[in-house]
Structure 1
Amino acid sequence: MKKNLLFVIPSLEVGGGEKSLVNLLAQIDYDLYNVDLFLFNHSGLFLKLVPQSVRILGMQNNYHVFTQSLIKSICSFILKGKVNMAFNRLMFSTKNRILKNKAISEQYSWRNLSSSLNGLEKQYDLAIGYLEKSSIYFVVDKVIAKKKVGWIHTNYSSSGMDSNFDYSFFKKLDTIVTVSEECRKSIEENFKELEKKIRVIKNIVSPNVIKTLSNEKIYIEDETKNKSINIITVARLSYEKGLDLAISACEKLIINGYKVQWMVLGEGKERSKLEELIKAKGLTKNFKLMGNKENPYPFIKNSDIYVQPSRYEGKSIALDEAKILNKPIVTTNFETAVDQILHEVNGLLVDISEQGLFSGVERLLNNKQLRDKFIFNLSKEKLGTEEEISKLYELLED
């Protein structure tokens, strides 16, 4: 008899955790498991990549009203006689405005948001909150399951989250999964009493799929007519990704006479700030925010250098993908970077600063022998992690 699995995630917008889930769903044996996917929002470029065997649960009406504009949402609830819902919508908005830390605001406003979400009637053998915060809270509060799992994709200590708030949820989980040894250590430091619950399951990446998709033909506008070095970064446009540092590093490269074109694939709330910074530094022809790309791999393949300028990460899927495509890599030395890059063997680890990024890129630009060394060493690495799916199955059997 098939076992029933549930995955919960806010949406399938472009992001590392979202991509990781899509990759995981592609590896599940659907002859053995029935899989449901609960999305708060039925949106995102990755939505159409969900296997047809996965049943996507319908969006709930109260939540749909809750996520409308404040005035429209409150008026709608009041007209329907749902005064408590209107109050929760007001408190949700108030907390998100007052609390400047986005991670904490999502935590503290959960009780208000959860009033718009009904519990699921179906019972599951395993329910997984596949992203930190709301996904995990939903599984704890709204799902009936024999086993419950919270999946954390970030370095908890660097995330800005309130561990006291999370403890009340985490102690109700059967297992806490994270994506690297460094992330595991971070969770242990914050939740010492729960260390026996923590498991590491790496993000699933498939070299065959990535290499096949990378062969798609694309057009890359280059005002320097291919006389420049093409640098690429795949990242959400948010503070933790360090794109402001990348822009400043690019400025230093141009000032020092290097002809570079730096492309960023991704979208996010920091776009307007980054666009202003690019314009202020006169880099509109050299540093380009390309937006989300459904298939980023041809862009990575056609680049000369991959740069990850993050301030912190859980485990960067983009770095793994750049490694699979054998790109010379410069990455900031965030805590989990050492899990993926061996300094001067398959890439460069640099300080989390504009000077660190500038120096690392400059070194690769001036040293073809080093670039070739990285390319050769990466070509010899075993980079697929498809076998990690067996660890998911083990969660059911433990």
Structure 2
Amino acid sequence: MKRIFIAMHYLEIGGAENALIGLLHALDYSEVSVDLFLYARRGEMLPLVPPEVCILPEIPAYAHIESPLKDAFLHGHIRVGLGRLHAKALAVMRRGKTTAGSDHTAIFSYIGRCVTPALPPVTDRVYDLAVSFLTPHDIVLSKVRAHKKVCWIHTDYSRISLDPAFELPVWQAYDHIVSISPDVSRGFIKVFPSLAPKITEIANILPETLIRGRAGSGSAPELQPGRLNLLSVGRFTHAKNFDNIPDIARRLRDDHHAAPFHWYLIGYGSDEALIRRRIAESGTNDCVTILGKRANPYPYISGCDIYVQPSRYEGRCVTVREAQLLGKPVVIAAYPTASSQVSDGKDGFILPSDNSGFAAGLASLAASPDCLEEIARNLLSADYSDRTEARKLVSLI
């Protein structure tokens, strides 16, 4: 029996969290035992962890890595709070030196470096394999003992504003770096060419039975018959580009005179106020609605007419894969890694990234129900679970 340790921030709704749940459901527990450590033991997806997995007790210092900063100080975790302030200062300095696009991914490099020294060891156990499933990767490197260590990349690193020289020592220290797709690997190697030999590709694994079961166990009362129901699910961040949905919807309604439609957004995040402002500015309150968090988004995915992912960049979007598994036509923007996710015209559609082109493409699809039905038939005859990918992780031991 091989012992595996996996570290994750928490299990709130998100793509990386869904990917982790899929991996946990695909492992063979007659061969491995798994300890899961959550920095904060919270999230709507906690009940989805398989019963064979041991969730380790929460350690208060770790829970304050992402809590409101004042809470870290109020609860006596002074060094964690000071580390976070130092990390914020380094990120601000870095932002002033570059004109490249940035999001919250980059700051975790600084948080890892500055906060990890203030954290206690996670456990005194020694594992065969320790997995850092999401940045910052400094923590598993320093606070967990294992014969081999693996870290994960979920996004296109060529699109993130970061300091390669600052990050390189952490990535170098791992035995393997797991990438979720060939395009993600290529983007990472552009930034860190010396790390190419460490890359191992393991596709995101979807728990097919669980997803189908949850899709049939809830309702989506907001979706209405007699109109085109569009849906986007994800964190409200720069990468997802939900802030441009109101303008796309306005163009779809006003420029292309599309049949009645409504576009629903499920998720949460720092860009929510921006998205709401854009809805008001574009006058699209009548056709764009933020639903917020949904503990079970699958009835909405199953019930929509088209699943839409207008991202600026992605690794390999989990919700796109889930929509395909449920037989929903998917539309994604032509971000750099799009072709690794969708075969245009066969299992979805790749539309121009600019708002005008995206709206025109959506209008064309909305007027082509036969085309959408053909895509749905193609999807239902395919296997999108990738369950066998779990063997690749075990083989790293």
Q: Same fold (TM over 0.5)?
A: yes
Aligned equivalent of 1:115 = 117
Contact kept? 2:252, 2:360, Cα under 8 Å:
no
* Aligned position for 2:257: 257
Structure 1 208/90 Cα, relative in aligned 2: closer, same or farther at 3 Å?
A: closer
Query: Hey, what does 2:86 align to over in structure 1?
Result: 91
Alignment-derived partner of residue 16 in structure 1: 15
SS of residue in 2 equivalent to 1:295: coil
Name which of structure 1's ranges 90-99 and 280-289 shifts more when overlaid on structure 2.
90-99
Shift of 1:199: 0.6
Specify the SS of the correspondent of 1:58.
coil
Task: Provide closer, same or farther for how the CA distance between residues 89 and 254 of structure 1 changes in structure 2, counting only shifts above 3 A.
Answer: closer
Q: What per-residue deviation string (whole Å, max 9, x for no partner) do you get for residues 154-212 of structure 1? A: 11111333322221011111100010011111222222222111010000013333233
String of CA shifts for 1:31-88, please: whole Å, max 9, x gaps.
22221111111111111211222222222233446666545644654xxxx8756643
Give the 3-state SS of the residue equivalent to 2:247 in structure 1. Answer: helix
- The answer on whether the counterparts of 2:27 and 2:391 sit within 8 Å (CA) in structure 1 is no
Give the 5 Å matches for 1:1-398: 2-64=1-63, 69-71=68-70, 73-74=72-73, 77=76, 87-88=82-83, 90-92=85-87, 94-95=89-90, 101=102, 102-120=104-122, 121-131=124-134, 133-134=135-136, 136-221=137-222, 226-255=225-254, 256-258=256-258, 259-396=260-397
| Aligned residues of 1:330 and 1:357 also touching (Cα < 8 A) | no
Secondary structure (helix, strand or coil) at the match of 1:177 reads strand
Which sits farther off after the overlay, 8-17 or 155-164?
Answer: 155-164
Matches of 2:55 and 2:91, distance apart in 1 = 29
1:326 counterpart SS class: coil
List runs of 5+ in structure 2 lacking aligned partners. 96-101
Classify the secondary structure of the residue corresponding to 2:396.
helix
Contact 1:5 1:127 in 2 (8 A): yes
Deviates more, 1:359-368 or 1:66-75: 66-75
Q: Return the alpha-carbon distance in structure 2 between the equivalents of residues 324 and 84 of structure 1.
A: 45
With structure 1 as the length reference, what TM-score do the two structures score?
0.90
Rounded to whole Å, the distance in 2 between the matches of 1:345 and 1:71 is 51
What do you get for the CA RMSD once the two structures are aligned?
2.2
Relative distance call for 1:85 and 1:240 in structure 2 (3 A) is: closer
Q: Distance in 2 between matches of 1:189 and 1:89?
A: 29
Check whether the contact 1:232–1:307 (CA below 8 A) recurs between aligned residues: yes
Provide the rounded CA distance (Å) in 1 between the counterparts of 2:343 and 2:395.
30
Call closer, same or farther: CA 1:365–1:70 in 2, change over 3 Å.
closer
Q: What SS does the corresponding residue of 2:106 show, helix, strand or coil? A: helix
**How far did 1:379 drift?**
2.5
How many residues are treated as equivalent by the alignment?
Answer: 387
Amino acid at match of 1:357: F
| Paired AA for residue 228 in structure 1 | R
Q: Determine helix, strand or coil for the equivalent of 1:261.
A: strand
Q: Which letter maps to 1:31?
A: S
**How far, CA to CA, are the matches of 1:54 and 1:170 in structure 2?**
27
2:98 matched residue in structure 1: none
Native 8 Å contact 1:73 1:89 kept in 2 = no
CA deviation map 1:100-145 (0-9, x unaligned):
55333321232332133212321111000001x21x2111121111
| Unmatched runs of 5 consecutive residues or more in structure 1 | none
What does the per-residue CA deviation read over 1:230-265, in whole Å, with 9 as the maximum and x for residues that have no partner?
A: 011111111110112222111112213321111111
More displaced, 351-360 or 19-28? Answer: 351-360
Identity of counterpart residues, as a percentage?
29
Distance change >3 Å, CA 303–CA 63, structure 1 → 2: closer
